[in-house]
Amino acid sequence: MPASCIIRLDNRLEELQRFDTAFNEFARMQKFSQEVTYAIQLSIDELFVNIVSYGFEDNDDTRHEIEVRIKVFEDRVQIDLIDDAKAFNPLTEANEPDLDATLEDRRIGGVGIHIVKSMMKEVSYTRTNNKNCLRMVKSLDR
């Protein structure tokens, strides 16, 4: 049976610190390499910031839960990021970054998802029961 971890976070940027602490402890217990730990943590941090910053109505002080589900298999880690924010598929709706443009000429957006896609083996999106689910798979190099 795969090892697993569920971390539930409020839709507040301050929750990132709590996530980082919990995830680093889980990664240490699973003996993830530094590269795997860094890739997963950076990817979740990027996506979490986007969800909190853009996924909910500006004037909505309602508490929302963002759930991070992590399953460790023999050769890979599967991460599901689940939220009830407005429907948004970052794989198809985010701007494609022009990485050759100067910083001044670049459009805002798209770099975070580009980083996630470059660090993960697989990234997919579904929307079920009014919830976004972004699934990432990272290969393990044990």
Give rounded-to-5 percent helix, strand, coil for the chain: 35, 30, 35
| Predicted pLDDT at 100 | 54
Spell 109-119 as b/e; 16+ CB within 10 A means b.
bbbbbbbbeeb
Identify the domain containing residue 34 by its residue range. Answer: 3-139
pLDDT of 85-140, one tens digit each?
999 888 886 555 444 545 455 445 445 788 899 999 999 999 999 999 999 999 99
pLDDT of 58-78, one tens digit each?
666 789 999 999 999 999 999
Report the alpha-carbon distance of residue 72 to residue 56 in Å, rounded. Answer: 30
State how many domains the chain has: 1
Q: What is the CATH number of the domain that holds 58?
A: 3.30.565.10
Spell 89-104 as b/e; 16+ CB within 10 A means b.
ebeeebeebeeeeeee
